[in-house]
């Protein structure tokens, strides 16, 4: 008996996705009507939605269809709903298409930039790095 290729790892849902997902780590602030706001990490992002991961399990269970507003860097607030839940990870389906590439662009810190998207600068490390470049 010859082994057959295993194509069962792809689900029907992956074939239904219309846009490519970008995998990277990005922070976001999520606002829920009933539970307030919480920080999360974006695991992947597409024009129509994203998968996020919380640092810990939510106190109350997230419910499919629950409304949420995600604050995305370089994009701003995006309305959506919880599409699926799997422990600390869950999917959000956006109400409108976004440009996921915009979220990957660097941030220029300014007054209106939320703290969770500003780069963390460590002066002693930055100065050592710059001083090491002077000798080149």
Which domains are present in the chain?
12-108 (2.40.10.220)
Residue 127, pLDDT score:
45
From residue 65, alpha-carbon distances to 19, 37, 55, 92, 94 in Å are 21, 17, 21, 9, 11
Tokens of 96: 């409108």
Please list, residue by residue across 93-127, b when 16 or more beta carbons sit within 10 angstroms of its beta carbon and e when fewer do: ebeeebebeebeeeeeeeeeeeeebeeeeeeeeee
The list of the chain residues with pLDDT below 70 reads: 1-25, 107-136
Phi/psi at 36 (5° precision): 80, -150
Tokens of 63: 């419910």
Residue 32, pLDDT score:
92
Q: What does the angle CA 128 – CA 134 – CA 136 come to, to the nearest 5 degrees?
A: 120
Residue 61, pLDDT score:
85
State pTM to two decimals.
Answer: 0.62
Residue 96, pLDDT score:
96
Whether residue 76 contacts residue 28, with contact meaning beta carbons closer than 8 Å, is answered with no
Whether residue 28 contacts residue 41, with contact meaning beta carbons closer than 8 Å, is answered with yes
């Amino acid at each position: 008996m010859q082994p057959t290729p295993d194509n069962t790892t792809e689900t029907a849902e992956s074939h239904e996705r219309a846009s490519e997902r970008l995998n990277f780590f990005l922070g976001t602030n999520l606002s829920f009507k009933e539970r307030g706001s919480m920080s999360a990490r974006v695991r992947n992002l597409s024009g129509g939605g994203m998968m996020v991961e919380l640092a810990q399990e939510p106190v109350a269970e997230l419910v499919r269809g629950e409304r949420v507003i995600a604050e995305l860097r370089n994009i701003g607030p995006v309305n959506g709903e919880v599409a699926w839940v799997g422990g600390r990870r869950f999917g959000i389906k956006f109400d409108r298409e976004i440009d996921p590439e915009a979220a990957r662009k660097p941030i220029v810190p300014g007054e209106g930039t939320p703290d969770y998207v500003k780069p963390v600068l460590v002066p002693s490390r930055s100065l050592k790095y710059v001083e090491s470049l002077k000798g080149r």
